[in-house]
Amino acid sequence: PTLTRPPPQAPAPPAAIVAPLLEAGLPPQAVQLLHGGGEVGALLCAADEVSVISFTGSAATGDAVARAAGAKRLVLGLRGVLELGGNAATVVCEDADPEQAARECARTGFSNSGQSCISVQRIYVHRSRYDGFLDHLVHAVDQLVVGDPLDENTDVGSMVDEEAAERVVRWSAEAADTGARILRGGTRDGATARPTVVAGPAESASVVGHEVFGALVAVLAYDDFGAVIETCNASRYGLQAGLFTRDMGRILTAWRELETGALIAGGTSNYRLDHVPFGGMKDSGFGRETPRSMIDDYTVVKTLVLRGHSVWGTRNATTEEPSA
């Protein structure tokens, strides 16, 4: 049986998935839904009746899950993955089309209000394209429709709660205090944070060093490709990265040297296919998620050794080996 405990901030989506499974005839003991906060999760992790724990969330909560679980089999993510977030970087080189890159960064930086572990957060643009890229990005962000997430015309809806939206406001204000420019956003209406573009934040700013998990992108200029790879790697996270360039040498160099689980060449970090191995490095986790890996991790492998018996019957079991 499978028992699901959704996050208390978003209880409805898991319920919407479980309900049709039960309506389709799946036995209630096969899939169950239990609501509650961290105390409920801790009790479930420690329960002797629970044999496997699958978890995706923050690094701090992941540590708590591991401590509560003890010697249980942990499937953190789906493939032994401590899939605990990211601070994804996308690099825009001087040979890229800045307008196309800006459109994609706007679309994938603010989809789901930025609440995705591979959402575009840090954008490093070659200095020769920096100002033009910012103009294109601001224009693309201005085209985004902010509103009711249930409206199919909405591009950016509310975040999970007001505290999350306030984090976007607070971190953008902090970046401005260190010299960054807030080109768009930096405000909220309840739980809806306006799409926020922060230009030129300090490397020490929270919008650069931590996971905002919200409707905010930070744009920084770079001069040397090798140096920007090192800058991207300075993050404690390493889930995915994006790269806009036509230079295959740079693509292979970035693929080899970036400390991320995947590189999306010709696109942003926010790209995923379920059948492609997915997972990170460093604080973004270990292992990879795929359907095949999920089946392996939920399967107990057992070995049967037959000694003195034959699956072919008595005759073959007693037949002597022919002489040489």
Instruction: Confirm whether 93 is a catalytic residue.
Output: no
Of the residues 45, 93, 105, 117, only one is catalytic, namely: 117
**Cα separation of 155 and 44, whole Å?**
37
Domain residue limits, the chain = 2-83+284-297, 89-265
Instruction: Confirm whether 83 is a catalytic residue.
Output: yes
The dihedral built from the CA positions of residue 148, 271, 144 and 167, taken in this order, carries a sign that is: positive
The domain made up of 89-265 has a fold known as Aldehyde Dehydrogenase; Chain A, domain 2 (3.40.309)
Burial (CB count <10 Å: 0-12, 13-18, 19+), residue 133:
buried
Tell me the CA distances in angstroms from 10 to 22, 103, 254, one per residue in order: 20, 29, 36
- pLDDT tens for the chain, residues 1 to 324: 788 888 888 889 889 999 999 999 999 888 889 998 888 888 888 888 888 777 777 666 777 777 777 766 665 543 334 456 789 999 999 999 999 999 999 999 999 999 999 999 999 999 999 999 999 999 999 999 999 999 999 999 999 999 999 999 999 999 999 999 999 999 999 999 999 999 999 999 999 999 999 999 999 999 999 999 999 999 999 999 999 999 999 999 999 999 999 999 999 999 999 899 888 888 887 668 888 877 887 788 899 998 988 888 766 545 555 555
Query: Where are any strands of DSSP class E within the chain?
Result: 2-4, 31-33, 52-55, 73-76, 89-92, 122-126, 181-184, 188-189, 192-193, 196-199, 216-222, 237-238, 240-244, 262-265, 281-282
Helix (H, G, I), strand (E, B) or coil at 238: strand
Q: Render the burial of 275-308: b for 16+ CB within 10 Å, e for the rest.
A: eeebbbebbbbbbbbbeebeeebeeeeeeeeeee
Which residues, at least 6 apart from 140, have a Cβ–Cβ distance to it below 8 Å? 102, 103, 105, 106, 107
Tell me the CA distances in angstroms from 176 to 15, 172, 193, 227, one per residue in order: 40, 6, 17, 25
Of the residues 83, 104, 211, 289, only one is catalytic, namely: 83
Helix (H, G, I), strand (E, B) or coil at 59: helix
CA 262 to mean position of chain CA atoms: 11
